[in-house]
Amino acid sequence: MPASRINPVKIVPLGGLGEIGLNLLVLECARHAIIIDAGVMFPEERGLGLGRLLPDVSYLEHSKAQLDAIILTHAHEDHIGALPYLLRKSPAPVYGTDVTLAFVRRALSEEGPVGADLRPLSPGTEVLAGPFSIEPVRVTHSTPDSVALAIRTPAGLIVHSGDFKIDPAPVDGVHFDTERFARLGEEGVALLLSDSTNAELEGHSGSESSLKPVLTSLMRRTRRRFFLSSFSSHLHRIRQLAEVAHETGRYVVPLGRRMAESVRLGMETGQLNLPPGTFIERAEAEFLEPRRLAFLASGSQGEPRSALAKLATDTQPLVRIEEGDVVVLSSRFIPGNERTIHAVINSLYKRGAEVLYEPMAPVHVSGHARREELNELIRLVRPRYFVPIHGEYRHLALHRALAIKSGIAERNCFLLEDGDTLVMNAGEIRRGNSVSAGRLVEDGEELGDPSLIRERRALAQEGTVIAIVAVSTRTGKIVAGPHLLARGVVSGDGTSSHLTRARSELVERLQVLDEYRRSDGAQIRDEMVRALRRYFSNSIGKRPMIVPYVMEV
């Protein structure tokens, strides 16, 4: 069959290429589509009072393809968090491994009634969806039951790494399936899409299980209570903490609803197989000696309402930090969160705790492959084409350079951002037309577009000036005002004098307008914005948000 008769496959990333988080990739062929992952992201500016960011999937409405399946690689929020939203927009069967589906059920129940057809995914068993056949391949990562995907399409074989590292000693004994990747490589892989999160870091990320001796020695040396803070989805870490606690004679107390839920999901899925009685409720902890207790607290990113933040501000019911307690922050500080995390650490110190975190103590191991492991995956899979995914632009650029260095032809390594597309035809890949991609932002129950972020930022940084004027539409005369109100522009004392001067400049400018223009509300509003912008920019070097209001009488 000539190449043109074979259905091409379109590769459309709508999130995760240009940022860490928000992962969502669409594959299309012959009017059918599948989606890999549907993740969220947390805004860097927490101070703006906005919620999570979600990938804009309006592209799916424009593309007329039928969505046959949503395939999830693992249980992290940046891969499943947008699923309830996606299912409301584009319902389709959802495939995930046991642990992933356990977390998906929780996410779906938290976001109100969202109907979902959940189907099992397990390594070695292929799933058919339209013209695609999807085979999960076992990888190691910071959450158990994570998979990569080998996707057979009419235009060639695609391997999607998911999030991965190559852990030589996984906590659950379930290994990265080197052999399967090598066999896929022999079969002939057209395209590899691979996790770029740690593409800046040389070497090997190290084994998750290397933390166990560290936790053991810390727990043995302290006579007081032990607190460990990590992501609540980090079941490997929770398991290690619980094992060490059990071995050193401590009971484990999960703090906060989400952490307690994770422990329950971990036990339900067999990931936390510990002797009965290892986990106890916080009410039971009251009567136990400090050296018999280990607490699990979410909030390692300094999240304001988390268990750790409540410990820091002494607002946690029944549990308080006391002199000599040890608190371990077992996670990477996500850029943008440092200030809030440091504030939490300062408060914990004030309460007398000893606080340990990276890099002062080796209390965290990343779940993402570093350069040696990235190289190893490329060597195993030997793809003809390569696209770095899951990363900010610099991670993607470095990962692409690494792929070229490891022998993939430079013209076959594409650097894509969200909305850039590729078209694969009989094993050949070229760039396609870009499609619309972007972010939505949660604001309470509502979803807003990025202008909401821009407006909040402007309000937070520059303040706002409201200007009100009444004009006669008949004569063009100013009947009342202008009245000015300012918030967050200058501090209290200066406000009235600045507003008086701004007002007289504004009056002058409005007077200069001829009567015809003064009887047109839109023209007056423009002039008000221009005049006030100029005043505040010249007088105090600020650009407050100007809100003009013209009453036409």
Q: Which is nearer to Zn ion, 77 or 527 (CB)?
A: 77
Looking at residue 165, the DSSP 8-state letter turns out to be: B
Question: Scanning residues 242 to 281, which ones bind Zn ion (CB under 5 A)?
Answer: none
Q: Which is nearer to Zn ion, 76 or 160 (CB)?
A: 76
CB 34 within 8 A of CB 132: yes
**Contact track, Zn ion, 84-123, x by CB under 5 A:** ----------------------------------------
β pairing state of 478-487 and 464-471: antiparallel
Tell the smallest beta-carbon distance from residue 82 to Zn ion (Å). 12
CB 367 within 8 A of CB 143: yes
What three-state secondary structure class fits 546?
A: strand
Tell the smallest beta-carbon distance from residue 15 to Zn ion (Å). 11
Q: How far apart are CA 351 and CA 373, in angstroms?
A: 41
Q: Which is nearer to Zn ion, 19 or 135 (CB)?
A: 19
CB 450 within 8 A of CB 43: no
145 binds Zn ion (CB under 5 A): no
Tell the smallest beta-carbon distance from residue 360 to Zn ion (Å). 25
CB 172 within 8 A of CB 234: no
Q: Which is nearer to Zn ion, 80 or 219 (CB)?
A: 80
CB 36 within 8 A of CB 134: no
In this structure, the number of other CB atoms found within 10 A of the CB of residue 120 comes to 12
Tell the smallest beta-carbon distance from residue 78 to Zn ion (Å). 4
| Residue 195 falls in the annotated catalytic set | yes
What three-state secondary structure class fits 488?
A: coil
CB 186 within 8 A of CB 180: no
* Total of residues contacting Zn ion (CB under 5 A): 3
Scanning 6-14, 49-57, 156-164, 522-530 for contacts with Zn ion by CB under 5 A, the matching segment is: 156-164
Tell the smallest beta-carbon distance from residue 533 to Zn ion (Å). 42
Scanning 68-76, 323-331, 413-421, 465-473 for contacts with Zn ion by CB under 5 A, the matching segment is: 68-76
Scanning 163-171, 370-378, 403-411, 433-441 for contacts with Zn ion by CB under 5 A, the matching segment is: 163-171
Which residues have C-beta within 8 Å of that of residue 311, sequence separation ≥ 6? 227, 255, 297, 319, 320, 321, 327, 348
399 binds Zn ion (CB under 5 A): no
Per CB under 5 A, the list member of 77, 78, 145, 325 interacting with Zn ion is 78
Tell the smallest beta-carbon distance from residue 263 to Zn ion (Å). 19
Tell the smallest beta-carbon distance from residue 353 to Zn ion (Å). 29
Active-site option among 78, 163, 172, 195: 195
Give the long-range contacts of residues 51-54, CB within 8 A, separation 24 or more: 51/441, 51/442, 51/443, 51/444, 52/81, 52/441, 52/442, 53/21, 53/22, 53/439, 53/440, 53/441, 53/442, 54/22, 54/81, 54/82, 54/85, 54/439, 54/440, 54/441, 54/442, 54/447
Q: Which is nearer to Zn ion, 76 or 239 (CB)?
A: 76
Scanning 74-82, 309-317, 458-466, 492-500 for contacts with Zn ion by CB under 5 A, the matching segment is: 74-82
Per CB under 5 A, the list member of 37, 135, 145, 163 interacting with Zn ion is 163
What three-state secondary structure class fits 471?
A: strand
Dihedral of the alpha carbons of 164, 167, 171, 174, in degrees to the nearest 10 = 80
Q: Which is nearer to Zn ion, 103 or 251 (CB)?
A: 103
Tell the smallest beta-carbon distance from residue 347 to Zn ion (Å). 29
Residue 193 CA, distance from chain mean position? 19
| Cα 332 to Cα 231, 342, 364, 390, 426, distances in angstroms | 10, 13, 7, 17, 42
Active-site option among 234, 368, 390, 498: 368
CB 81 within 8 A of CB 51: no
β pairing state of 421-425 and 9-15: antiparallel
19 binds Zn ion (CB under 5 A): no
Q: Which is nearer to Zn ion, 78 or 177 (CB)?
A: 78
Residue 376 CA, distance from chain mean position? 26
Q: Which is nearer to Zn ion, 218 or 235 (CB)?
A: 235
Q: SS3 letters for 379-423?
A: HHHCCCEEEEECECHHHHHHHHHHHHHCCCCHHHECCCCCCCEEE
Q: Which is nearer to Zn ion, 197 or 347 (CB)?
A: 197
What three-state secondary structure class fits 464?
A: strand
**Contact track, Zn ion, 25-44, x by CB under 5 A:** --------------------
Tell the smallest beta-carbon distance from residue 470 to Zn ion (Å). 55
Scanning 70-78, 129-137, 176-184, 483-491 for contacts with Zn ion by CB under 5 A, the matching segment is: 70-78
CB 327 within 8 A of CB 348: yes
Q: Which is nearer to Zn ion, 19 or 78 (CB)?
A: 78
Report which of 49, 39, 20, 16 is spatially closest to residue 452, judged by C-alpha positions.
49
CA end-to-end span of the chain:
74
76 binds Zn ion (CB under 5 A): yes
Scanning 158-166, 219-227, 341-349, 392-400 for contacts with Zn ion by CB under 5 A, the matching segment is: 158-166
Tell the smallest beta-carbon distance from residue 236 to Zn ion (Å). 12
Scanning 148-156, 162-170, 232-240, 402-410 for contacts with Zn ion by CB under 5 A, the matching segment is: 162-170
CB 147 within 8 A of CB 74: yes
Note the residues at the interface with Zn ion (CB under 5 A): 76, 78, 163
Catalytic residues: 195, 368
